[in-house]
Structure 1
Amino acid sequence: LSELFAHYMEAWRSWYAQVTAGGCHQSHSRSSQH
């Protein structure tokens, strides 16, 4: 479970970085489909 959680957090941080950098919440829709 720890591995899965770590992977989830990594993906979430990547998305968060995109949002904070671009300031566009729509970026989250494309990243979620990964």
Structure 2
Amino acid sequence: LADLVQLEEENQRLRKRLAEKLRAENAELRKRLGLD
């Protein structure tokens, strides 16, 4: 069970990093398209 909890925590961390990365990418694309 401890392993599972650890996996879950890592999962959350990775999701957060992915979300930040996608947001940055999104902003970049909007700039290129002149949407902002």
| TM-score, scaled to structure 2 | 0.61
Instruction: From the two aligned structures, give the one with the greater helix fraction.
Output: 2
Q: Which has the higher contact order (CA 8 A, sep 6+)?
A: 1
Q: Supply the distance in 2 between the matched residues of 1:17 and 1:11 (Cα, whole angstroms).
A: 10
Pairwise CA RMSD: 0.4
Q: When the two structures are aligned, how many residues end up with a matched partner?
A: 23
- Rg: which structure is higher? 2
Gaps of 5+ in 1: 24-34
Gaps of 5+ in 2: 26-36
Q: Which consecutive aligned stretches of 4+ in structure 1 deviate over 6 angstroms post-superposition? A: none
The Cα of 1:22 is off from its aligned counterpart by 0.5
Residue 10 of structure 1: aligned partner: 12
